[in-house]
Each structure stands twice: as C-alpha cells, then as structure tokens.
C-alpha cells in the first residue's frame, strides 16, 4: 500500500461520550458545543461563530461536565472551548446550568433591555425582570466582540472596542478603514448594528458607500471598497467579483451541461 493510500484509509480518531444521557461518538479535537450541535442537542450561544476562534465571552453555553471515572465530580465549563474526550459526561440542562444562564440573562437584560433576542432567551428561562440597574441610553450591543472579530477576519480591521467597564463600546475610529461589507451587522447576534440601503447607496457606521451592480442582472453586489478589498486579498481579477450570486449559479449550471453563456 502506498503512503497516499494509507493516508486516504486513515480514519479520524473518535471519542465516546455522553450528553444528556445519550451516548454519542464524535471526532477527537472537537468541542462539546460542536459535538452537541452535530447531534441536534441545543446549547444557547451569543458570541459563538463557526468561522471564528471561540472566546467564551457570553457564558451562555455553560454546561456541566464530569468524567465516567468520577461521575460525582461535576464542574461548569464553557462548551464552545471545552474539548471532547472519552468518558466525558455532559449535562446541558442541569439545575446548576440553568441557574447560571439565568444570572447571565439577568445581566444582559439590564444591559440591553430593548433587545428582542435577549428577551426571547430570557423568556425561555423564565427570566422576566432583573435586579440589576438598567444601563442608561441602552442600545442592543452586548459587547460579545463578534463584530470586531469578524471585521478582523475580513482583513478590514476597522472596528475596535473603546473605553472600559460598563462604558465600553464598539466604533470605527478611522472611517476610511470600513469597506461597508456588512459582515459586522449580518453576524451580530442581537442585530445591534443598523444599516440601510436606498437609491444605490449603503450607509453604515456613519459612512455612505456607492453600491456596485452586477453587469448582467443589475442587482446590487456590494460596495466598490469591499470588491477592491476582496480582489486584492484573493489575487482574483476584480471582474470575477462583478457578478451576482444568481448569475454565478446560472453560469455554473450551464457549464455543468457543456453550455457556455
């Protein structure tokens, strides 16, 4: 057998564990959150994003874990960071877990009392009010950091966190750095970043962008700044970015049957 065939026949190492009394098998190297989701076991999250490195900021994904060798020694861990292992016993809805999530949600309600997303989660856990003082001039930002991390992953590095403590906020100090790609707004878990598109313009973070249209369909594709940015980072000709997704899909379908549009 060649080295290539040997590598091809090598299966990923797996682990056996238990979540909520159900025995499951998953790949070694995954997190408890990933293992739960691939088995349709819900764990609430706000700051988690599958395309970004987990940071465990929101604390909603806390679960209780123990080892089969010591089932009585339980502890709380953040499931988006905690790795799976053989014999791991996980409880995603224990009384301790639910109480900790309630505390987190009470804090969040005080910070963002007008957030529909947080109110909906709070209702699921029976949290109707908070003893914590509501923040004055509250918006919907929970300071999870997702927008900043997404912006950095896109290579724009326009968003930063400013100030400290309860006064922390996210902003774009250098408006020229923002490319208007909407990655921050579309990935915000609480819809805290407003934007609008009218008359061929996109407005976000106090900056206005001209929208570029697909040369074939006339649909808005994105801002000129984001198209240039992606073309430069990928070394792909800018012409390739001047088509809408629908036009791309139509061309791909035609090419698959030997037709060139």
- The domains located in the chain, with CATH, are 3-93 (3.10.20.740), 146-256 (no CATH)
Closest by CA position to 147, among listed 237, 47, 244: 47
Selection from 29-33, 112-116, 234-238 with the highest mean pLDDT: 29-33
Residue 1 clears pLDDT 60, i.e. is over it: no
DSSP of 5-27, one letter per residue? HHHHHPPPPEEEEEETTEEEEEE
107: tokens are 């804090």
Residue 261 CB coordination number (10 Å): 9
Say how far apart CA 26 and CA 39 lie, in whole Å.
9
Average confidence (pLDDT) over 92-117: 94
Rounded mean pLDDT, 9-26: 91
**Residues belonging to the chain:** 261
Residue 251: predicted pLDDT: 56
Q: How far apart are CA 224 and CA 38, in angstroms?
A: 38
H helices of the chain, where? 3-9, 32-37, 95-111, 116-124, 146-154, 183-187, 224-234, 245-256
Tokens of 41: 């076991």
Model confidence, pTM: 0.83
CA distance 222 to 244: 9
């Amino acid at each position: 057998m060649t080295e290539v065939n040997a590598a091809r026949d090598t299966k990923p190492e797996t682990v056996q564990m238990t979540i909520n009394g159900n025995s499951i098998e998953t790949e070694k190297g995954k997190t408890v959150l990933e293992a739960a989701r691939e088995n349709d076991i819900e764990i609430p999250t706000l700051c988690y994003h599958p395309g970004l490195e987990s940071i465990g900021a929101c604390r909603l994904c806390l679960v209780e874990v123990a080892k089969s060798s010591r089932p009585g020694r339980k502890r709380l861990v953040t499931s988006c960071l905690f790795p799976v292992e053989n014999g791991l016993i996980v409880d995603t809805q224990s009384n301790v877990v639910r109480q900790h999530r309630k505390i987190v949600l009470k804090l969040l309600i005080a910070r963002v009392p007008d957030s529909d997303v947080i109110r909906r989660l709070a209702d699921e856990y029976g949290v109707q009010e908070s003893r914590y003082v509501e923040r004055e001039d509250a918006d919907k930002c929970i300071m999870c950091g997702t927008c900043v991390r997404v912006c950095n992953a896109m290579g724009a590095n326009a968003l930063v966190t400013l100030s400290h403590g309860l006064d922390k906020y996210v902003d774009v100090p250098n408006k020229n750095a923002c490319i208007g790609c909407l990655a921050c707004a579309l990935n915000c878990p609480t819809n805290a970043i407003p934007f609008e598109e009218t008359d061929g313009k996109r407005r976000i973070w106090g900056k206005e962008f001209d929208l570029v249209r697909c040369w074939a369909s006339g649909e808005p594709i994105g801002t000129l700044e984001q198209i240039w940015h992606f073309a430069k980072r990928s070394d792909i000709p800018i012409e390739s970015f001047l088509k809408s997704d629908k036009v791309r899909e139509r061309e791909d379908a035609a090419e698959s049957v030997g037709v060139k549009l």
